[in-house]
Chains A and B, each alone.
Chain A
Amino acid sequence: MSMEEKQNSQTFLDFNQSTFNPSTREEIVEIVKDCYKKNIPLEINGTKSKNKIGRNFQSEKTLSLSKFSGIIEYKPEELYIKVKAGTPVKDIVAELDKNNQQLAFEPIDFGFLFKGSSDAGTIGGVVSSNFAGPRRFKVGSARDHLLGFQGVNGKGEIIKSGGTVVKNVTGYDLCKLLSGSFGTLTVLTDLSVKVLPKPDSSKTLIINNPHLKKAIEYLGIALSSSTDPSGGVFYPEKFDNNFTFNDLTHKGALTAIRIEGPLNSVDERIKRLIKELSLLENEFSILESVQTNIFWNKTKNLEVFSNSKSNLLRIVVPVSETLNVIQKLKIFDANYFLDWGGSLIWLELEKINLKTLREIKEIAQEHSGYCTIIKVEEDLKASADIFTIDPIKYKISEKIKKSFDPKRIFNPGKMYSGI
């Protein structure tokens, strides 16, 4: 610890305050050790952009990582960036942009959904929630891009796993286990994340068609073809006011397929795709790069639900089940759009109750999938299962939780009651 850091930590470590804002790893260790000793539950967060996702829980203190921020090391030629967990995603994206690189898993900006404007949060939050954008089926989610981490476990011990190289099979892959664990296992401090070059160009084939069945068919053909798409969505007619683009010739429902790569290759593949889908001249339009970026940003950031007062559910099923699931969901008077080539259903419901929630979750499970509650009325939140888990996995999760956080001081109950 440098002298300056020491001074900071001395002035800062007032254990009477309700929110800790540590700026050094040593401070985080000290806070966790103290809370472990005194059995004090901690809410761990960054900029709170996603803190509405997950169960409500009570904690005596808050450990905010928003001051534990900054890029530690960026090696474009090694395809990784090492950052402190509280680093804002937008800072990372801006830095990568300078070298024409990106976080290929497209972290979702939940700001639009929860407050009507951009707030992409911190990289720690993105990894801890593991929600991936439209490129998921091609490149994976955050868990596939986390190369290594350092963090503080529930006893206040610094632990690490992985590293900065892509190929590493040394010991258990804790990067995967911590991705999507919503801060319930370890306070992540340092993250090494894989970065990839941005494509030279990208275009979007927009097909005007009102029918879900046909859309799923189009997406299936496209994703199984050698044209190698990197995005596939379907928006029903309800959302057509959200999409006004120079090159969009029709209103109404649309199926969109993104193709990325060298310019010649993108044009070649778009042409091929039009042929493979047997599209007539008046059935499609093509968005150029700038419009493509806007379209897919809107999609990934759920902007069609911006400022909505409604509830939002996230349903993932094998794509073969999507049509049946949507048909069963019709009785609930919901809005939806499809991402991930048809296997991710974002479902918006104006009114919802416990019974409806349970029924929708059951439908997802009957079709080999799952349904996570992303946004729901506060009074329902206390009694609803946000995530679903079976008794066997609950038991295993309990044991794993205990192995990292034996006194359950990190985000207790955030994912499941008792964990």
Chain B
Amino acid sequence: MSSLKMPKVDSSILSKKDKILSDIEKIIDPKNVLSHTDEIRPYETDALAAYKQAPLLVVLPETVKEVSEILKYCNDNKIKVVPRGAGTGLSGGSLPLEDCILLAMGKFNKILELDYENRCVVTQPCVTNLAITQAVQDKGFYYAPDPSSQIACSIGGNVAENSGGVHSLKYGATTNNLLGIEVVLMDGTITRFGGKAMDAEGYDFLGLMTGSEGLLGVMTEVTVKILRTPEVVKAALIGFPTIEDAGNCVAEIIAQGCIPAGMEIMDKALTKATNDYSKAGYPTDAEGMMIVEFDGTEHEVNAYIEKVKNIAEKNNSSSLKISKSNDERLKFWAGRKAAFPACGVLAPDYMCMDGSIPRGKLAEVLNEITRLSKKYNLPVANAFHAGDGNLHPLIMFDANDPEELKKCEEFGADILKYCVKVGGALTGEHGVGIEKRELMCEAFNDKDIQQQLTIKVALDPNSLLNPGKVYPILRKCAEEGRVHVHGGKTKFPDIPRF
């Protein structure tokens, strides 16, 4: 599955490798420039491990001035640059190009300021998401967006992808929790968007940069808001005899004015697989299983849990358990968070999709997925961030069978197209990257895409920063790969996902 068309390799750059190396070594400490094949290998892919490409050089700057000088040098000499944070992205956003300099931001790994008075943290971009919460939790604060890979993913990567997490229904995604960034543009310009004062005047460049997948600038500093840790968190584990009942329950919870902190649904296949894997005590006979979590004060949480209990019963729930302790609550989540490895037991390979749909379309979309599963003769298990409509089907297949791989890719593309058809989106939180690039024309027409490309050209006229990502190179909508995991050979197989 490596038939993906990437930007044309500039052979003049390849032939000037030695000159470029020596020039870069004049800008930054030579020990921070990697050029040997063995040194470069760890950087040749991100978590979309099916695609690999060694870059020309790997450069690890330590200061914003170095980042600026490198970008200016590359801009002047027409050298492509691919920025990279922790490399945990699932859509191939930091896949190198043969003729690029991979700008690895790993040395920007310090938290700069814990500012409790203004309830924010100023940090360098390669600090992990979880490290921010860990730095402030002693004082009773936390950083709200929690992508499941938070133990390893960097905050800069979160900004670049606008990462979500299970709590984004109530607390929003990265963009809603970000106050400011320092950023370097491709021509070397250093500037700041936003800051500790909310809603800066003028065009919202902070919002534009968030989720731009490293195409518009390289972040060198991030300011995020932190929230008070909720006093009480409780979850309910609810089984339903049909997916429709589970879907109706979600709709009614929302309609009755409850906004849970998290609301997840799994289908029977995934409930069984994760329960076998993690012994989470799930109702394995249920066709649909829901975990719904509330946080706040004791009275508040109890009031909402009571409300949900009534709504669930009205919608034919077959079982209902409420967490009595934090340990029990975490046990409810343990299975859900182990969805990836649990599927790994069932099949040699699986591919994880990331579509967004209106909550009310859940049953319809799952029925369509079941129909497609029969059509392609491939099993599928479904996890769903029901609160915010983010669907993660896991298609199981055997990549050693080229026919099955092709079928799986077609199956995946059909699911995403259906998500768009019912009013959803191609990607809820994993980003477009290279993975869903050619499907962009399912969601956007030429004019929409052209407008976005014009913005890109305005800030990076030579299209040198992370080219070949997000926007289609081919003029037709090819159907290409998804997150593909083969026999645990993915990068970071152990970290929790989605």
Contacts and interface: CB of A to CB of B under 8 A. Distances in A.
A200 B257 CA distance: 8
A186 to B, nearest CB: 9
A226 interface: yes
A389 B211 contact: no
Contacts of B207: 143, 173, 175-177, 179
Contacts of A415: 202
A43 B423 CA distance: 33
A269 interface: yes
Contacts of A166: 168-169, 388-389
B458 A402 contact: yes
Interface stretch (B77-85, B115-123, B475-483, B485-493): B115-123
Interface stretch (B7-15, B33-41, B148-156, B191-199): B191-199
A262 B423 contact: no
Contact of A169 (B172, B427, B451, B455): B427
B451 A165 contact: no
Given A159-B447, A197-B259, A228-B296, A132 B203 contact: no
Interface string A146-164: 0000000100011111011
Interface string B293-328: 000111110011000000000000000000000000
Given A75-B358, A100-B257, A368 B297 contact: no
B440 interface: yes
Given A176-B208, A180-B204, A403-B457, A167 B173 contact: yes
Contacts of A223: 119
Interface string B227-238: 011110000000
Contact of A389 (B116, B198, B202, B258): B202
B106 interface: no
Interface in B416-462: 423-432, 436, 440, 443-444, 447-452, 454-455, 457-459
Interface stretch (A231-239, A295-303, A316-324, A350-358): A316-324
A80 to B, nearest CB: 9
A143 B447 CA distance: 23
Interface in A218-256: 220, 223-228
Contacts of B262: none
B162 interface: yes
Max chain B C-beta neighbours (<10 A), residue from A224, A320, A370, A402: A224
A387 B455 contact: no
A258 to B, nearest CB: 15
A227 B231 CA distance: 9
A173 B116 CA distance: 29
A316 B297 contact: no
B493 to A, nearest CB: 24
Interface string A376-408: 000000000001110011001101101110000
A387 B447 contact: no
Interface residues of A, number: 82
A76 interface: yes
A77 B211 contact: no
B455 A400 contact: yes
Contact of A173 (B208, B258, B304, B448): B208
Contacts of B385: 167
Nearest to A141: B199
A173 B164 contact: no
Contacts of A169: 161-162, 173, 211, 425, 427-432
A87 interface: no
Interface in B65-117: 115-117
A340 B198 contact: yes
A418 interface: no
B204 A177 contact: yes
B455 A157 contact: no
A178 to B, nearest CB: 8
A144 interface: yes
A265 B300 contact: yes
Interface in B201-224: 201-208, 210-212, 216
B464 to A, nearest CB: 16
A137 interface: yes
Nearest to B196: A318
B129 interface: no
B133 interface: no
Contacts of B198: 136-137, 141, 316, 340, 343
A198 B360 CA distance: 21
Nearest to B200: A370
Given A77-B360, A140-B172, A174 B452 contact: yes
A268 interface: yes
Max chain B C-beta neighbours (<10 A), residue from A77, A169, A316: A169
Max chain B C-beta neighbours (<10 A), residue from A136, A158, A262: A262
Given A169-B429, A343-B197, 9 more contacts: A167-B428, A170-B443, A265-B297, A265-B303, A318-B195, A343-B118, A392-B191, A397-B203, A400-B455
Question: Which 7 residue pairs spanning A and B have beta carbons closest together?
Answer: A176-B207, A197-B257, A265-B300, A318-B196, A167-B428, A399-B458, A168-B425
30 contacts: A75-B358, A141-B198, A143-B204, A157-B447, A157-B450, A159-B447, A161-B452, A163-B356, A165-B428, A166-B389, A167-B385, A169-B427, A171-B440, A172-B212, A173-B212, A176-B175, A176-B208, A177-B207, A224-B141, A261-B296, A262-B304, A264-B300, A265-B303, A268-B300, A369-B197, A387-B202, A393-B191, A396-B203, A403-B451, A403-B455
Interface of A: 75-79, 99-100, 130, 132, 136-137, 140-141, 143-144, 153, 157-161, 163-177, 179-181, 185, 196-198, 200, 220, 223-228, 261-262, 264-265, 268-269, 272, 316-320, 340, 343, 368-370, 372, 387-389, 392-393, 396-397, 399-400, 402-404, 415
